[in-house]
Structure 1
Amino acid sequence: MLTTAEKAADWLLSGLELRSTLFHVGQYCGDYRASTAGHQRASFHLVLHGECWLHLPPRNGQPAASTRLVEGDAVFLLHDMIHCLSPDAQPPGDSEFTVRIGTMTPLEMENATSSGNAGGVGLACGFFEYRSDLGEGIHGLLPDHIIARHDDVKLAGARVVFELIRTEAIRTGDAPSPLVNRLADLLFFYALRSVASADDFAPGLWSVMRRSEFAPLVNAIIEHPAEDWTTHSMATFCHMSRARFCRQFAEVSGQPPAQFLAMLRMKVAAEMLRQGASTLDAAEQVGYQSESAFAHAFRRVTGMHPGACRRERSASAAHIATFIENRVSAH
């Protein structure tokens, strides 16, 4: 049985598009300091064999952190942020975080296939881009980084994906592998869903869904987005005074109830548009009588016009149809 937080994660993932690109695969031995920072992109590191330490300097009011990573672990950095990987448990000095040392060498078969190898660490590193029906609002629902542990019981399926990545990395070596890119996408989805119910996860949808006083409200809004959801009616639904509801909801979600409501409605509308609904139909289904008011709200939340969202779906369908046609013709 899925928890409400896990259901929320699956709902969000239904509109999340991800594209990973493998940067390099290899191993480090001896003294090294590796990083993908400075490229203005989100990135990832997969530990193929051995172990290393992930070091993060103080950021956004959070203290510095050093985390041991072992074979099978992965870290996803959801935006460009200062960090480094090294063999040392102690982090480098503040001025040394951005100084890379050591040379990555080709991945050796015997190292890549033996657990607990003490000769260094094998890594698959890359970048990824992601976007959502929620536009820039997605960033407020995600943490700045996610660590996926190889022994996390929630990641049983992901372990199969990791083994496929490692096998492909060994097979192709330095050559680019589009398969690793797609597998990295899948691993990220597993990682995101696994941490959705963690107590220290970022504020936003999951934080609200973990609170028994708010989860039923969110489910009700998703099921009936066209209802007249005012701050007063939402407070009444939660059996709270308006003032108490607004205060506690903002503390948990990180945003006012009205803003959160708009986010949920536009997510529902985006799913409808992708399925071919007209802008007017989508507007009415999420509680807007005015098509222009809906279009304005949709663009404010998602960053795109409703028509563009629907055309993306049509273009994707056309691309798939052409692909199938070509495959049939080839045979």
Structure 2
Amino acid sequence: MLKSAEKAADWLLSGLELRSTLFHVGQYCGVWRASTAGHQRASFHLVLEGACWLHLPASFGRAARSTRLVAGDAVFFMHDTAHCLSPDEHAPADDAFAVRIGAMTPLGANSEPEAGVALACGFFEFRSDLGDAISGLLPEHIIARHDDVKLAGARTTFELIRAEAARAQDAPSPLINRLTDVLFFYALRAFASSDDFAPGLWSVMRRAEFAPLVNAIIEKPGDDWNTHTMAALCHMSRARFCKQFAEACGQPPAQFLALLRMKVAAEMLRHGESTSNAAEHVGYQSESAFAQAFKRITGLQPGACRRARGREQADAAETRVH
């Protein structure tokens, strides 16, 4: 049985495959404005040295926001989000967010580095056992602060990123990509235990009244988890349970249950278990009904999930041989 929301989050993120790609690393000085928006991809910015401002325009009921970032901070955008970085604490006009100003120069090219900011910027993509269902529950962006006590373990990772950026004069070090992956996972874990999250998956895991239910479903996903049994485990009436769960999670209990079940099933399939065994373990008597649910939530057929695992193992074996 999982003991905490953080462990539950680790379990949920264990099937998440992340691939970071460094776009550029260098420094800006004087008047400049930078952004990774408009590429239809998730992206990140790491502040290696100096300070700057992150500006977000008003969107979908969210007020415009400007946040100061300093050395050691990082921001990860889960989706293609309108934003810009600049040295100015005042945000540009809404129609100027997409206008880039200034040019990035190599690290160390400026004789007065304190006058500017050094950045590592790039894109990332992540696939999950749960497909778009996971990314849809994540926040628009996550800011990882250098002084966040929950990110103490990430500081060494950031220092390694900074060291790799400093030594790569001609081309960015490929290690920065992998180190950024690690930093991103630290940021996600910190978000899972933060107090200023948006309603969603982590909210349910952290709520004392729902945490036992989440752990129980993970432990025995094939049990008869209807809304009555879930409400009873949480010591609530069915109506109160459904209302409070939906408010905390942003989706009804049945949809959340399906997410956890398919996560468990995907892990089994990736480890070579048959589709029929995976289906039965998570509560499906019909293999075809399970396949339909699995496809709807993960975007893959069960067989494709098993074959993907086989390809990964073959690639790993080929790498060891050569």
Once the 2 structures are TM-superposed, how far is the Cα of residue 203 of structure 1 from its aligned partner? 2.3
- 2:133 equivalent in structure 1: 137
Aligned equivalent of 1:190, options 170, 180, 186: 186
Corresponding position: 1:242 with 2:238: yes
Does the aligned pair in 2 maintain the 1:44–1:74 contact within 8 Å? yes
Deviations 1:100-129 (A, max 9, x none): 111111110787xx9xx5310000100000
Q: Give 1:208's aligned amino acid.
A: V
Residue range with higher mean Cα deviation, 234-243 or 142-151: 234-243
Aligned identity (percent) is 74
For 1:178 and 1:121, locate their aligned partners in 2 and report how far apart those are by CA, in whole Å.
Answer: 22
Q: Counterpart in 1 of 2:76?
A: 76
Aligned to 1:29: 29
Partner of 2:226: 230
Q: What SS is found at the alignment partner of 2:268?
A: helix
Q: How does 1:251-290 map to 2 (within 5 A)?
A: 251-290=247-286
Paired residues for 1:191-210 under 5 Å: 191-210=187-206
Which 10-residue stretch deviates more, 315-324 or 48-57?
Answer: 315-324
Normalising to structure 1: TM-score of the pair? 0.94
Aligned to 1:329: none
1:6 match: 6
Whether the aligned pair in 2 keeps the contact of 1:47 and 1:74 (CA below 8 Å) is yes
State the Cα RMSD in Å: 1.5
Partner amino acid, structure 2, of 1:102: G
Match among 131, 135, 147 for residue 151 of structure 1: 147
Residue 299 of structure 1 corresponds to which residue in structure 2? 295
Whole-angstrom CA distance in 2 between matches of 1:98 and 1:5: 38
Q: Structure 1: how far apart are the matches of 2:165 and 2:94? A: 33
In the aligned structure 2, how far is the partner of 1:50 from the partner of 1:153? 21
Q: Which runs of 5+ in 1 are unaligned?
A: 327-331
1:60 aligns with 2:60: yes
Superposed displacement of residue 177, structure 1: 2.4
Q: State how far apart, in whole Å, the 2-side matches of 1:174 and 1:204 are.
A: 43
Q: Is the 8 A contact 2:25 2:172 kept in 1?
A: no
TM-aligned CA deviation for residue 220 of structure 1: 0.4
Q: Matched residue of 2:104: which SS?
A: coil
Secondary structure in structure 2 of the residue aligned to 1:315? helix
- 1:160 equivalent in structure 2: 156
Structure 2 counterpart SS, 1:141: coil
> Residue type of the partner of 2:250?
G
CA distance in 2, matches of 1:3, 1:200: 22
Distance 1:203 1:173, change over 3 A: farther
Instruction: Tell me if structure 1 keeps the 8 A contact 2:8–2:215.
Output: no
**Does 199-208 or 281-290 show the bigger shift?**
199-208
1:118 maps to 114
**Residue 66 of structure 2: SS of its match in structure 1?**
strand
Q: Which residue of 2 aligns with 1:218?
A: 214
Residue 57 (structure 1) shift: 0.6
3-state SS of paired residue (2:136): helix
CA contact (8 A) 1:140 1:204 kept: no
In structure 1, the partner of 2:44 is 44
Residue-pair matches, total: 321
Work out whether residues 8 and 205 of structure 2, in 8 Å CA contact, stay in contact via their aligned partners in 1: yes
Distance in 2 of aligned mates of 1:174 and 1:96: 32
Contact 1:8 1:205 (C-alpha < 8 Å) held by counterparts: no
CA positional deviation for 1:140:
2.6
For the 8 Å contact 2:200–2:248, the answer to whether it is kept is: yes
Q: Distance in 2 between matches of 1:200 and 1:164?
A: 29
| Structure 2 partner of 1:94 | 94
